[in-house]
Amino acid sequence: MSLVNVTDLTVEFGSLRAVDGLSFRLEQGAALALVGESGSGKSTVAAALLGLHRGTGARVGGAIDVAGVDVQEASEETLRRLRGGRAAMVFQDPLSSLDPYYAIGDQIAEVYRVHTRASRRAARARAVEVLDRVGIPDAVRRSRARPHEFSGGMRQRALIAMALACEPDLLIADEPTTALDVTVQAQILDLLHTLREETGLGLLLVTHDVGVAAESVDEVLVMRHGRAVEHGPVSGVLGSPVQQYTRELLGAVPRVDAPRAASAVPEAPTEVVLEATGLRRAFGRGKRAFTAVDDVSLTIHRGETLGIVGESGSGKTTLGRMLVGLLEPTAGEVRYDGHARVGVNPAVQMVFQDPVSSLNPRRTVGESIADPLRARGEGDEGRIRGRVRELLERVGLEAAHYDRYPHEFSGGQRQR
């Protein structure tokens, strides 16, 4: 019997059909990736497997069997036993998945106690055990830390540890490496592979990253607009795709050795739009002082694109914050259009790493986008609304998305 058996799955939110007639199976110990661009329905499918759409107003049709449980017909008590027990999910954003108030170890222990009725002492010991298992150094001490004291990669490991606490048969990983640098991403993928080998659990990986899927799974199911476009062994689907959309998806993956399109920047030097000289930023004082950025200089010409690359902790974000004026440099200077930058310059903008914490959950996306226009003195609400709708369409969203809230978007849509 298959670990997961989905037949003709549909999920509708109002008039929107997010998943349309999807069918697939996942055997015990196997790994399947749901691949597609943002908004294709991948995370919606993952949530449906655990019955997480109940009570949300969504209409779910079709048949869903997970670890022998008929998810569509199961009682709430049966679903509670399934979630975290036989099947566990690692969500896309660790910061919003972990309670900022409680220690990591206490949160893992709580999950274990709910499903096993273990004592507090046994649950704490289990929390330390699974933290050590996923590669958290000094697990006893780290189990007492809170989420903000962990790096992004460690928070993701902590979520995986929580999912493993009750030794599930199925692990659903929703974009587990999206916000991680390539080094930490590789470590998380290696960890998932090792856990599969050691425990025999089935893995359902949700990702927009074709490269991540190629390294991690046995089969790939490509989704678009809630439908299956192509499904089969990873070597066939990604090695010799049949469908045009799959080929386009593969073609969109950046490659260092790929021939570059002609640059839009003229070969003749253009004017300098942003210049940084000798930037340095230190945090703390005395012996505890830490230099995050040390003597960095750069020049960006109008129409030019400059990439700043490095591992977590290398100073990329600190440098970016100094360039836009959110951090004052300890030493050095930033000039925009030939003039020294003073404070925040509205002509230099920043897109932050985490859209969940950047967007106000109580306001519609349209209202959040409109705020900068109002702050600049635009008072005509009609012009403001028209401009926001234009901007939404420019980044590949719909004008009607103005009235949606951040939680109604996929991760990729929130970033747009």
Report the distance separating Cα 241 and Cα 230, nearest Å. 8
The three-state secondary structure class of 270 is: coil
- pLDDT at residue 268, as a whole number: 58
C-beta separation of 44 from 19 below 8 A: yes
Structural domains in the chain plus CATH codes? 2-252 (3.40.50.300), 272-300+312-340 (3.40.50.300), 365-415 (no CATH)
> DSSP string spanning 4-53?
EEEEEEEEEETTEEEEEEEEEEE-TT-EEEEE-STTSSHHHHHHHHTTTT
Tokens 């719909």: give the residue. Answer: 398
Residue 403: what residue type? D
C-beta separation of 176 from 192 below 8 A: yes
Residue 272: its H or E element: strand 272-283
State the 10-residue block means of pLDDT for the chain, 416 residues long.
91 90 93 90 93 91 94 92 89 83 94 91 94 88 88 84 90 82 78 85 90 87 93 90 87 65 56 90 81 90 88 81 89 86 78 81 91 85 90 90 86 83
202-207 and 31-35 as β-strands: parallel, antiparallel, unpaired?
Answer: parallel
- Number of Cβ within a 10 Å radius of residue 193: 15
C-beta separation of 4 from 49 below 8 A: yes
Tokens 């978007």: give the residue. Answer: 409
Report the distance separating Cα 242 and Cα 236, nearest Å. 9
Tokens 């030097």: give the residue. Answer: 269
Residue 171: its H or E element: strand 170-174
Question: Two tokens at 221?
Answer: 């199911």
Residue among 185, 181, 182 at smallest CA distance from 157: 185
- Number of Cβ within a 10 Å radius of residue 402: 18
Sign, CA dihedral 241-247-251-253, equals negative
The three-state secondary structure class of 320 is: helix
- Number of Cβ within a 10 Å radius of residue 112: 22
Residue 70: its H or E element: strand 69-70
Per the confidence metrics, is the pTM higher than 0.85? Answer: no
- pLDDT at residue 134, as a whole number: 87
Residue 177: what residue type? T
Question: Two tokens at 391?
Answer: 């901007």
- pLDDT at residue 230, as a whole number: 92
Q: What is the largest CA-CA distance in the chain?
A: 72
Residue among 308, 310, 289 at smallest CA distance from 297: 308
